[in-house]
Structures are given as C-alpha cells and as structure tokens.
Structure 1
Amino acid sequence: MGTPEAPSTLRSWMSAVGEISRAVNAAEPLDGVLARVAEQACVLIGFDQCAVMLAEPDGTHLRVAGSSGLSRDYVALVSDTGSLLIHPAGPQLDSPAAEAFRAGRTVTVSDVGSAPRYGRLTHLAPKQGYRSLIAAPLHAPGAGTLGVVVAYSTAARGFGAAEVELVELLADQAALACEAARLRTGQQDVIVALSRTNAELERSRAVTEWAEQQHRALMRLVLDEVGLAGLVTALADALGASVTVEDRHGRVLARAPVSGYRPPPDAAARRRRPVRGALDALDRRNEVVEVGVDRSGRPGASAVGHPVGRAHGVWVAPVVVGRELAARLWVTNPRASPAPVERRVIERFALVVALEVLKQQNLVDVEERLSGDLVGDLLHPGGPQHPQGVLDRAAALGHDLARPHVVVVLALDPPGPASRVTEIVRAAARQTAPPLIGYHEDVHVLLFPDGPGLDDVLRGALAQIELVLPERTATVAIGPIADGPADHGPAYRVARGAVRLRRSARPGGVVDVRDLGLAAFLLEEGAPDTLRRFARNLLRPVVAHDDLRGGDLLPTLRAWLSAGCSTSATARELVVHPNTVGYRIASIEKLTGRSLRRSDTRLDLQLALTVRDIVQAGEP
C-alpha cells in the first residue's frame, strides 16, 4: 500500500520545494516565504500548526517570523521579549525551541504533560491547545543557526525518523530563504552605496570646478584692481548671498548686493550667544565661523544655484592684517552651512580683502604723515612761511583752509601719538565735514571746519577713545576759530595752554575756551602752575564761604561779570531781588579785600574763574 503512494508523496514534496524556491528567487518578502514553509509542514507532514522562529539581532529571544494555524494571540505571546528566551535563567523558563536553537539539533516532545524540563510549555501549550511538538534548527552555511522550525500536533504522538528528516528538510529550506534574503539585502545596500558614491563624486567634481572658477575670477579681480566694493560684489554673486565687510569698530566698509541685501546680526544679536562667542574667537581662528541662522523667511539660492529652504545661515570670517583683526567679512547665505570648498573660497576672499584693507591703511598712514607735516607748517611761530603753499597742500588732501576752522587740541596721558585717534575722530565726524588731523608737539591737533555739531562729535570721539584706549586718558580743548592760515598758530597755543592747565590738575574731559577774550592771552603764555595758584589764592575765601554756608557767592560773581557788572541784569538772570545781588557782591569784596569797582579786580576775578572752570570742567 505504501509503494503506490510514494511517487505521489515525492511529487508533492518536489512541488512544495519548487514553490518555496520560486518564492525565494522572485524576491518575495521573507515573512511570506517562511509562512509558506510553515504551511507546507502542516499539509505534507500532517501537523496542526507550524511556526518558523528567528533569533532577534541581540540574541536574547526568538520571535515568530512566519506561521500557519496559530492564533494571533499565541503568535503575539510567543514573540514577546520575555517569552522564548534563548538563554533562560532555569528550566522553569526553558522551551524546546530555545534548546533546539542553543544545541543546534532537533528536539521532540511526544506529550507536553510529561516534559517537566520545559517549564515554559505549561504556560504556552494550553493557549494554543497542542500536546506534542518538534523543533528543528535553521542552519545557514557560514552564518550559524538563524532560528528554528516548530511543528505542533493537538494529539500526543511520537515522531519517527522520517518525520524528523522531513521537518529538518523544511528547516533547511527556511534557512536558505533567510540567507537569500540577507544576500539580496546586501546587494541592494551595495547598489545604493554605489549610487550614492557616484552622486557624491559628481557633486564633488561640480563643487571643485565651481571653486576653481571662483579662484580664477578672484585673480582677475586682483589684477583689475576693482577695490573693496568690487570684491564684495563678486563674492556675493558667487555665493548667492549677502556679503558685508566691517572694520573692527563695526563701521561698514562695503556691502552687496544692492537688491535683496541681508545685513549681518545687529548690535543686540552680537551680545548674545553664539554670535558673541564666535566673534570673541575670531582673533584666534583664521577660518570661517558660523554664528547663527537668519530666519527672515526670504528664499534664496545655494552657492551652486540650487533652491534651498527658508532658514539662512550666517557666517563671519576674520580679515587679519599683521596678525591683528582689521575687519570682519560677514556672509548671510541661504544655506544652512557652506561646503568645505565654499569655506575656502570665503577665506581666500577674506585674504584679498585683507590686502585691500592694508592698502587703504597704507594710504591713511601716508595721509597722516602729510597731514602732520602740513599742520606743523601751519602752526609755525609767526605763521606759515609759505601760506599759499600750505593752502594748496591742504586742498590736495581735501581741506579748504581758506574757510574758518575751529582749532581743537587732543592730548593723551601718558603722552605720545596713537594711530587709532585719527580713525576714531574721523568715524565720529562721518556725518559732518571731515577734520584735518596732525600730530604736533606731543598732542593731536584737529582742525574742524566751523559749523554745528562739533561738541557732539568730540564727546563721541572721547567716549570711543576711552573704550579703544583704556590705558590712556584723553583731554580735549576747543580753541578759538581761525579765520585764515595766520590765525591757526595763536588759536592752537590758546587751546594747548588750556589743555596744559587742565592736565596739570586732573586730566580728561572737554574744556571750551573759544570765547575767552583777554584771558586767552594768559592761557597762551602763562605757566599752568602759576595760573592755578593765582586762581586758588584769589578765590579761596569765597570758595570756603560757599562750602561752609552753602552760599551762592561764586555763581553770583560769575553771572555779575557776564552781565557787564549790572546788578539788575544779574538779578533777572538769577531770579532774585537786586538787593540780594548787592549784598552778595559786598560779601565778595569783604572776603577778598578787593573792590569790585576797580577794573583790574574784575579782570583778575574773571581770569580766576576761567582757570577754575578749565580745571574743574565736567565736575558737578
């Protein structure tokens, strides 16, 4: 009876194996192929349920990858991480499937009720209702054991050698399916990797060609001497970005493009991290530094012309001259981060910008030397020896000395020239006519065209000098107006005398001696110590009276002299009764022992007040 069925059984097995092989070759999903293996175990061998289980990558437990006849709840229960542990703590948690995997051999259980060594079965078998099972390992050449095939029967039964061999044959088919899937995944990974590599090579070649084009363009710009504005425009075009060059004080030297320009971070943003940290590190790193993201929402294009998102990166590159930070090159670009090649292009432009800044600095140095020589000739004792020549040289530097000029003296303590002074003063005066600046007799002489706004310019310059040169103290004296070349010398000596007087007492601050009258001659020639001693001795009793009694003798005296010694005019100015003014004037005469009816007394007191005002300028 068995012989006639053999060909049919063989044909069934061959058909089943062929079906599984075709599924593998057709690259069907692995879980579908394994489900076919489980189904064939039930049909060909006569099991009620079957599962193909694979080990998890971490090697801790088995999970069901394909099944036939098992309920969803049972599959979920068996696949739980704490269910079929490959290396359980003891027999109470062990299972035939785990032992078959560990030992690499087939394990059979004829009746789960008499298999105490597999404690896990007492929990699992009742959930599905099986009484016997067989578990065969999945062996893959070169890959070890991948999992197990477990077939179940609802009745207790033994397993003959033929059944064991058939289950192991199906396990081999399942192993072949797993290995084929692994190889196919590896091939796909290789194909994807090759595709990505080719794409990266193409992009790298395109970026390299772009960088070479920018280098050639940069060399042409250098040879054509396009200047700072031309360099900035070219870089902005190359990067599809906004580019700004600022000097070390934050003054914009050049920017581009004209349309759609995006400025660098403002002063408030630069005080916050990460911009502040990036700027602090610029003098230590000669490279492009990303400082933040501009989220203005304006779309842009990347350095190679591709559309990008709406968030724009912001970078800054140092412009170094003589190992010192001379300027900053800002790039506000529509890319989150430039490629390394693009960063090198920015750094090359920063180097050329440094050369341009150095050239401008050299021009400034030459101009400062010429201005210093011109100021020295202008202030020559007795007036310039060649007035017309001085006027012509000043005109060549952009200054019309035929116009009235205010002569200002700026002195530093400790004394000595400072190259930054010219730069700072010109920056403060950028909204007005530029001054002629020269260093003469250990002070800086500033000749401003007569006009409004001078006080604001000098206060701004003085504040900036305190920031830039904290180790120096600056004293400024605003001298008389010089109507022509011959007037500059006397006006300078008056302003210099005021500075000398101020520095002898307490350096620093601004004093104004534009309208001194006769006292200007004493400032021009008088020694500072002598003038201070004269003023102190003459005004000492009046000052002591005011300090002791909180009086107003000094303000009254100053107002009375300014009002032409008119008691009624002084009373109106101070909003007091004329008798009060008369009483105070009499008190001053009594304290000083001098009559204010005498013109020489009034002149002495006016000079003493002037000296006191210069020495104490800026005090409350």
Structure 2
Amino acid sequence: MQAMSSTEESEQTEQVVHLLELLAADGPVDQLADAPAPERARDLALRIGATRELHRRRESAQSSLLDIARELSTEKEPEVVLEAIVRRARTLIGTDLAYLTLYDPEAGDTFMKVTDGSVSADFQSLRLSLGDGLGGLVASTRKPYWTADYPADERFSHTHEIDHGVGDEGIIAICGTPLIVESNFVGVLFAANRSPRPFSRSEVVLLGDLAAFAALAIVQTRALADAQTAFAALSEAHETVRQQATGVARAAAAHDRFASVVLEGGGVSDVTRALVDLLGGWAVLFDGTGERRSTLGPAPPPEGDQDALLSLPVVDRARHEAGRLVEEGGVHAIGVIASHEQLGTLVVGAPGTLEEADQRTVERAAVVTALVLLFERQADDARQTARNRLLADLLSGRGSHEERTGYLRSAGLEPRDPMCLLVARGGDPTQQRALALTVSTLLGEGSLVGTHDGAVVALVGGEDPDHLARSLAERITRGPRLTVGGCGPLTDVDGLPQAFEDGARTVGALVALGRTGTGAAARELGFAGLIVGSDPDVHDYVQSVLGPVLRYDDERGSDLVGTLVAYFAAGSSPRHAAGELHVHVNTVAQRLARVSALLGDDWQHPDRALEIQLALRMRRLLESR
C-alpha cells in the first residue's frame, strides 16, 4: 500500500476536524453525509449523529410524558387532559391526525370522543362496532394493532360505514392501542396518517404509554364523579356523606402524593412508601419473577427460598384477577398490569378494614407503579442495548486497540487492571435479557454485562475466574440455573475474543461433565480443562495434581513420584512395583501411605487415579523438553 504524503495526511486531518465541527454544531445528517472526509470517519460521524437524533427523540417523548403527568396532577377538567394527550400523540409520533374513541356499553360500540387534525364531519361522528375495522379489532381483543395501508389490509373487517368515514378523511396508515381502566376496556387511542407509513415498535410503545395516561385521566373522572355523588347524598345521610367526603379527601391526597412521586422521578420504592404513609400497615411489591422489589412497614420477612407471602392464596388470586384488588384474611393484593402484561404484584397488610376510598388508593398505587416500571424498563432496555453493542465490539475485536480500550473505560473498567470474563448459559433464549439484568444487579458496579452469541457475558474486575464463576452460579437462586465458565485474569482487550471462546467451551465441558448449574474456570476442570482451553498451562495442571508430592520429594530428597510411576506401571500392584524398584514390598507400602497422607485417602479412586497418571505423564513430557 502506497504511503500518503504529508499533504494528503494534512488534508484528511482537516476533513476529520471539519466533521467534528459539524457534530459539535449539531449539524444535520445530510451535511455529515456530504462532507468530504475519509469514509470510515464519515461513517462514524453518521452513526454518532443518528444515535444523537434517536436520543433527542426519546428525550422529547419522555419530556412530553412528564408534561402530561403534570397536567394530570393540576388540571381539574380531565377532558382537557384527554385533548392534550391526543394532541401530543399526533405531535410525538408525527402523524397527520390522532383521535380517541370511548366505549358505549349500552350500544355495544365505540364513539369518537376527541380528534386532532381531523377535517371530516362524517369521520368525527363515526361509531365502530366491536370487531369492525382496526379500532373494532383493538376493542374486541384489547391488543394494539397497526397497519401501513389500512384500505388494502385484509386482516381487518371492512364495513361500508367505516371505509366511507376513513376514506372521507383520507386516512391510509393507522395505529390503535386500547385504554384499560381497572381491568375494563374503556376506549382506543389512535394515530393515523393520510399517506402510507410504517409504525415502529417504539412508536407503538409510546402510543401505549399515552393511552395509559388517558386511562389515568378517566380514573380521575370517575373519582370526581364519586365525590359528586357523595356530596349529592348529603341531605339523606349526613354521617355517610361525611365519611365519603373524608374518603374523597384521602383519594385526592393519594393522587397528589403519587403524582408528586412521578414528577420528582421517584422509583417503585417511593410509590410503596407513599402507600404505607397513606394507609399505615405494610406493603410489599413483587416483580414479575417473584423477587421483592420493595418492602415497607412490618411485612412478614421471606424465609428460605420460598417467600411465604407468594404462597398465600390471595396473591395467587390477584395474578388472575386482571388488576382487581382482592382480599383474604386482612391481606390485600392486586396485580401490577400494563398492556395485559403482569409486571408484578402489590401486597398490602392494612391495620384495619380498607374502606372504598382506601381500596381505590391501593388500585391507584398499582397503576402508578405500572407506569414507573414501564419507564424503568425503557431506560433498562436502552442501557442494555448499549451494553450489548459494546460487548459485541469487544468480543469480536472490532475497531482499533485504542477504541476498544476506550470502550472498557467508558463502561467503568480500567484495562490495565486484572479482569475476568464470565460466560453463562441456561434457560430459555427469550429470557436472556432478564438474565442479563439479574447478573448485572448481582455483580454491581465495576462490571459490564450483556448478551452475545446466545450467552450472558460479564466482564468484571478480579484475578480469580474460578471463584467468580462459582459465586455467580450459586447466587442465581430463582428462575433457570446458569452454567458459568470463567477465564482470566486478563489485562488487555486483545485477549477478549479468545477468552470468550474459551469460556463458551468451558461451559460446554461443565455440561458434558454433568455439572450443569455450576461455575468453574477451565484450569479447575482437571484434564478436561486442558482440552477446552486455547492455551492450557500444563505446568500449572501438574502442580495442582501432584504439588504436595513434588514438594515433599524436593524437601527430603525422596522419590515418591518414582514410586507412583512404578506403582501405576505395575497395574497398581505393590509387589510388582517393589520388584521394579528393587526394594522390599513393605517399603513400597510405606511410601504409598505417605502419598495418601499428602494427596488424601481417595487418591486411588478411578477419577483421581486417572488425573494423577495423566499428571505424571505430563511431568515427564515437561522434563523431556
């Protein structure tokens, strides 16, 4: 390859600096694509620009969701909030119009409640029967549906009335997601376009988040209606009204408290704490895997591997009651549900009987918890995707040495410090994301955990891969057991691709040896470790098997090693070994007794004997070099 002249190098340097200046000035992607520069530098700049634009859109969506949450906490007219949600749906997803329909239980269909961007009077007065059209299918199945070309999509039941309204509005692409309130279907939120366009998974999820806020606004409407009903009955039963008014005040206080938690960026523990502050007693939130996410108050502690609370019949009922509060023996439980997915279970032990307003408070806590868990999941997914991409570059050796070293530092690992690579396999492939999050939680700071080539992979600081692998396998006590192979210690990024291959082979060896669900480093597998390792340390293996005998001979000038060689060569016969060594058989017996004291009484067990014989042969090979 012809070397570049200094002029060419200077020109390329100026081009790269120009690219960096465009990035720093937040230049548009088309400017980056057209800028003269080396192809690799331009590709990296385009990737950075695209990633920055994706983060900007996500931040805009999160900011809009928080704005809606603020409106929910301050706006007295829930219909105004619904209008804001529909307007935000149109803006965030970037469609020509958005609209919301509500379910009419008496007519058995849905009717248009709020539109934004609509110009057709016929469309604005449209009613959808259950099962008809895309909206009717969402209403009947309670699942989101979307299409890039509704008129040509044969998945949906087309009717003359619906097709006329959609055609009059000029709609082509539609995405709809259901509104669920207290396990009941109440309506559908739509985003639509007048030209063909696909809907990404993130856009469908965002529309679902907005639908959850719309459902929360409807819950607010119901709470307000309850309050109005209570005050209307004042003339009939003053004491009853007083109790109801007190309940409404508690509900309003609960709403304000939960809204404050969301707006201040609180987590699920803050929601649980707010619930206990409002009701007293105790509360426990279990996640979808049955682990305790938060515990407040004097709740029954977990005992052993099985949490006693999870064994209560009321908790099992809550999992099948689709978000409805159930009670038994003074313990209340409700499923934490979002888009028909069971994200967890909230269990409450109140100091007394829960009145209706208090029951609504628990239900509202479950809804807010679901929203917070959804936000956390989105953030976790984004972080895990970044970790997976980083690990893929490190384990495949992509990029220069300096770039990969920088990747490690960005993950909080110092490349010059010893580190170990752990490769873990186990469970259903669809559970890899959840397992990676569990492993990341167990290893904590100072580790990089992700998925690669069907395995959960972790880079963690340390010098003992066997201890780290065994410890990780032992700490996974729920869900599928992990088989973990450890490699290291490593002090350079260049060794990571080979370390991953060695770790994967070590996992395979553990499974083949019947040690599924355990962890080990290749060097701890005996002769099996010599097979799976890419660079086996034969000397280390010999020392690990024969070390006590070798040291005894060195310190005392004896020859127990020679006696072992003769003993095994004689078919484990002391008499024949004595003839070969030209000593009395009692001398051989005394030497073998000393071997037992050094190696343990089980040294003649077939497995140990095989290891010892192999180590003796390896030692002879080392001495012959």
TM superposition score category, shorter chain reference: 0.3 to 0.5
Query: Which structure shows the higher helix fraction?
Result: 2
Q: Looking at CA atoms only, which structure, 1 or 2, has the larger radius of gyration?
A: 1
Q: TM-score, normalised by structure 2?
A: 0.46
Q: TM-score, normalised by structure 1?
A: 0.46
